Chains A and B, each alone.
Chain A
Amino acid sequence: MSRLPEHPGERIDRQKVIRFSFDGKTVEGFEGDTVGSALYAAGRRTFSRSFKYHRRRGLMCCSGQCPNCIVAVDGAPGARACTEPLREGMRVEHLNARPGLEFDAMRATDLVGGPFTPPGFYYKTFIRPRRLWPLYEKVLRHAAGLGRLPRQQPERMWRTEYRRRHADVLVVGGGVAGLEAARAASRLGADVVLAEEGPELGGRRLVDEAGEGIAALAQDLRAGGVEVLTRASALGYFDGIVPVWQGDTLHQVRARRHVFATGGIEQPLLFAGNDLPGVMLSDGARRLASLYSVKPGSRAVVVTTSDRGLHAALALHEVGVEIAAVADLRQLSGAPAQDLGERGIRVLPRHTVVEARGGKAVAQAVLAPVGGEEADERPLDCDLLVVSGGSAPATSLLLQAGARTAYDAARGGFALSELPDGVQAAGEVAGAGEPDSVAPSGELAGLEAAHAVGLGDERSGARVPELREALAVARAGRPAVAVPPPASGARRGKCFACLCEDVTSKDIAYSVKEGYDSIELCKRYTTVTMGPCQGRMCQLPSIALMAQETSQSLADVGTTTARPPWRSVPMGVLAGRPIDPAKRSAIHGRHRDLGANVKWAGDWRRPYDYGDPQAEALAVHHGAGLIDVSTLGKLLVRGAEAGAFLDRVYPNRFSDLRPRRIRYGVVSSDAGRILDDGTICRLDQETFYVTTTSSGAGAIEEWFSWWLADSDLEVRLTDLTQGVGAVNLAGPRAREIISAVTDVDCSNEAFPYLDARQGRLAGVRCLILRIGFVGEVGYEIHFPAAYGEHVWDALLEAGRPYGIRPFGLEPQRILRLQKLHVLVGQDTDSESTPFGAAMPWIVKLDKDGDFIGRSALEHYARETPATSLVGFTMSDGHVPSEGAVVVDERGTPAGQVTSSRYSPVLGRVIGMAWVPSALARDGVSITISDEGQKLTAELRTRPFYDPDGEVLRS
């Protein structure tokens, strides 16, 4: 055990022991530990194996930034051990190592395979023979990767859901700057949400002062109504919407203003062996000691480019870690160097580390003066190598929001240079990370955000210039930092620029030699910055390497494009709840009771059949059938000029339609193409009831609304699609059945074909349309949806003596095909015109006034269409596929089959197809090419069943 004595500020409760397993072995920690701190305290140094070379990796940042400690928790891969809270009984397992973490057979890739595995090696090496690629891919995927998901799982592994949260101000980052921003905005009355990705608030204050004073500040915020989210990572910025992932919830935060106080990310240094377990960032080592009372090592070497490393050396010395030496890249160290000297700790100016040596972990660090000779090197034994390569502002979210950065030579990184509207930055990300500037920076951002949403007063307004002045003074006194060399000691061994993807400094050089000499190309070629850390650790080092290899400045190299997600996130979190929107008719429950085979039809769930589509089709011919057609679009068009409006949106005429009469209509686009079809019933002088296809309902409602919006016609439109149920009763016994349950006189004389009546059916007020899509005597009955089951039951009951059967979509398609009734969308496409679809009679070019598509239709009327829609029968009983190709005598595609079915009443296969117009005559033989087969069909231009419509009208 490497636990330190109890000290104030530690987060663990030593009285509460937590037991969990790591790779099957029981380990103990304390409540408040993370998985990482507990395992480290128990002596574990290797936490994972790297992506490509399977090298040992250990704790490095201890803040969830780097990829070194990614493990699977209770079967779910992707958890970072250093931030995953310890829970009793949790099952933790390593990833990407076989047979085990301590002995990984794939380590051979690193030991002997390095020269053979440059960037893109798999594309170059394994592409031949091409047929073996699937095998290679399988092997490569097996060898690499960051864990596996179960192949089969009955449900999602855990519940995830969305939560929408509106706010005046969203503050991202729970360090001092973020907290001050939230407090300032909240005090002015803003509704504030604060999201912190770590387990607790405090940011760097947690490292420097174990979070001193943070708890009180947080309490103050909560009391003021600020919603504080911890373990909540902002994933991106999407036009003002910031998704914040917190456990099983994805908060979609829509704020009027955003304050990003995302801090800075401590950068590693590049040197040979910089990935060995025991190489740790200075903040990581301090977190282990201060928060979890874990001694990170016995003897440490510290290498730094700023005072940050010096503070770390002091802090580690304080808890009993022997400091072998401190290498400071700067010539003149900051004030903490004097404190170190007083404690007898050597500070080597202008020195850095060139190599970390060791097997399972660091055993020796080699320090050398910058630009010095080998003879000047100092190998120092140690079990901990603390590095601090400066800090890169965490600008990714700001960049996604539209901010810009520019290279800051003095700090060796890319700093914010421009902010977009609606966004504030505070704290280290805004260049105000020092203790005397971080709080004023936060307060200023909070005030400005609140002012921007109309809050604040004179006093708060006066505070703004005061804070700006204080910040200017603080910035002037920032301590110096040194810019580290891109890599040191690269000839001694691998220097990793990207720990996630195992990209070395040599790989970047190789990429440039291969011609990928811009940072964006290099990113795609080497996959640098594309791993789980999302560039947090590797963007700056890879830019520095690219600058070195291309002899450019870092400013010229620039940065890669910041893209979401800023943190790796399980796909399930993005997916939300697995509930698909579905429309169901008011009779849907009855269909289920009857054992219907329910399928998707557009956005509706509909019965395709009730077990035997052929028998259902025959029942319609021999007795009666009942189909639920509630899915039809139903629009009420009312007003003094309703008829004129319909004349304008349909190519045929409706203003002359008599009340209680029905007419078929085809809606055409302004290009004369068929959009939809349906029936139009005139209820009274000013009221038309328009039906559309099921799939076209929404589009036609929008189409009508669109034209009405730009019209001065006195017309009102009401969409009744969902509120009105409808069934179609059809068959030779339909009249007897409906007469048994309605007070409407349904005799042919009183209620002829294409007439409409209103009356009661089984007590329910209904609109009854005498139409016949399926070719038999038919009544389409419309009624309030709330009575759907009642009407359905009444008709089935009345029809029982007549052999009535419910029928679904599939038999309906057989029946309508027999009549050559066009199914818009099935038999037509975006190029189909009424002339090609054998409906020239629907276009009334002689009607007064303009109508949509008139010009185009006039043009089509003068020309013979290239292809025409006709019926066909098959001579050999084969049912051609819908979509099969009609070919001419040379075998060239000349048309297409749109519908085909076996008709039980006709005893043969029938269909519809687009064929060259020259062939569109009765009796012409055509050839259909269907999946390699050549089939012969004979054309028909008239309906197969009841061609003269005598049955329909009877």
Chain B
Amino acid sequence: MSLEFLTLDAPAVARSPMERQARAAGARFEVRDGWNVAVDYGAPEREREICRTAAGWADVSHLAKLELQGDHGLAGVTRRGGAWWCPVSDRRALVLGARGSMPGPDETEPEARVHVVEVTSNFAALTLIGPLAREVVARFCALDLRPQATPVGSLRPGSVARQPGMVLREGEHRFMLLFGWAIGEYMWTVVQDAATHLGGGPVGQSALEGADA
């Protein structure tokens, strides 16, 4: 008997804590890898435009997350096989990515030095993307996200909207906010409030994938 109950492999649909807000904002959902994912908000082209000119936010809580405990050996944030490997401390690291990009047991427990805990639903996540993304985050977060302090591929733990959280800089204008599952609704409200005021809007996976391309 160990940690099977943390595994997300049910035939049921897994849901983000922000699903209701996304639905209220007009999201169209598709089930992907067992998760109800907001694909778009009815206007994919406009969403891509928001990502290019202002700031879009997307619920990416469905990304898989693993916690590595022990001597992970990571010197800094690295990108491996589409997943972000993020050291949080000397003895703790997070691996984030699409389900298919997550490491297998061989990769995470070399010489059994690292223990792995499934923490996907510990952390909800929002991606902020666009030239105003940093400005949006500055409305509720005091972390220094200037490029000289947080270059692409950096993880900054700290207070996010007065709650414990982390910010991962995925690109020049792209940040992933990680925060507790239970504050998902609150965080959506905060981000929506700040981003909308600066001309931003919610965007779906299609827009994010378009930006990646």
Contact = CB atoms under 8 A, between A and B. Distances in A.
Interface of A: 159, 161-166, 191, 252, 254, 577, 579-586, 588-589, 604, 630, 636, 638, 659-660, 683-684, 687, 716, 718-724, 756, 758, 760, 762-767, 782-790
Given A252-B142, A716-B115, A787-B12, A724 B182 contact: no
A866 to B, nearest CB: 40
Nearest to B183: A583
Most chain B CB inside 10 Å of its own CB: which residue of A162, A723, A782:
A723
Given A252-B142, A583-B180, A586-B15, A763 B10 contact: yes
Contact of B2 (A604, A683, A719, A783): A683
Nearest to A716: B69
Contacts of A162: 139-140
B1 interface: yes
B187 to A, nearest CB: 9
B12 A763 contact: yes
A716 B1 CA distance: 18
Contact of A586 (B17, B145, B163): B17
A756 B11 CA distance: 23
Contacts of A783: 5
Contacts of A788: 15
A161 B197 CA distance: 10
Interface stretch (B72-80, B99-107, B118-126, B200-208): B118-126
A579 B186 contact: yes
B88 interface: no
Nearest to B137: A164
Given A764-B12, A784-B8, A161 B1 contact: no
Given A163-B139, A758-B1, A765-B9, A582 B185 contact: yes
B2 A684 contact: yes
Interface string B113-149: 0010101111100000000000100111111111011
Given A582-B183, A660-B1, A683-B1, A577 B190 contact: yes
Interface string B174-202: 00000011111110011001100100000
Nearest to A781: B5
Nearest to A578: B193
Contacts of A760: 10
A161 to B, nearest CB: 6
Contact of A718 (B4, B12, B70, B117): B117
Contacts of A764: 10, 12
A164 B117 contact: no
A95 B149 CA distance: 48
A170 to B, nearest CB: 14
Contacts of B183: 581-584, 722
A163 B138 contact: yes
Contact of B12 (A684, A762, A782): A762
B6 A784 contact: yes
Contacts of A716: 69-70, 91, 115
A659 B1 contact: yes
A782 B69 contact: no
A588 B185 contact: yes
A141 B139 CA distance: 37
A718 to B, nearest CB: 5
Given A582-B183, A758-B1, A724 B6 contact: yes
30 contacts: A162-B140, A163-B138, A163-B139, A166-B144, A166-B145, A166-B146, A191-B148, A577-B139, A577-B140, A577-B190, A579-B189, A580-B186, A582-B186, A583-B180, A584-B185, A584-B186, A586-B15, A636-B117, A687-B3, A716-B115, A758-B1, A762-B10, A762-B12, A784-B6, A784-B14, A785-B182, A786-B15, A786-B35, A787-B8, A790-B15
Interface residues on B, range: 35 or more
Contacts of A580: 186
B186 A789 contact: no
Given A782-B5, A790-B12, 12 more contacts: A166-B149, A191-B146, A581-B161, A584-B182, A604-B182, A723-B181, A765-B4, A765-B9, A783-B5, A785-B17, A786-B8, A786-B61
Nearest to A159: B197
Nearest to B2: A684
Nearest to A588: B185
Interface in B155-185: 161-163, 180-185
A252 to B, nearest CB: 7
B141 A164 contact: yes
Nearest to A683: B1
Given A589-B20, A660-B1, A786-B14, A720 B6 contact: yes
B13 interface: yes
Nearest to A580: B186
Contacts of A786: 8, 14-16, 35, 61, 120-121, 181
A716 B70 CA distance: 8
Given A579-B193, A786-B121, A787-B12, A161 B139 contact: yes
B8 to A, nearest CB: 5
A164 B20 CA distance: 29
A722 B115 CA distance: 20
A164 B149 CA distance: 14
A765 B10 contact: yes
Contacts of B2: 683-684, 687
Interface in B39-90: 61, 67, 69-70
Contacts of A659: 1
Contact of A766 (B5, B149, B190): B5
Contacts of A630: 182
A722 B182 contact: yes
Contacts of A787: 8, 10, 12, 14-15
A125 B25 CA distance: 61
B69 A723 contact: no
Contacts of A763: 10-12
B122 A723 contact: yes
A762 B12 CA distance: 8
Contacts of A166: 144-146, 149
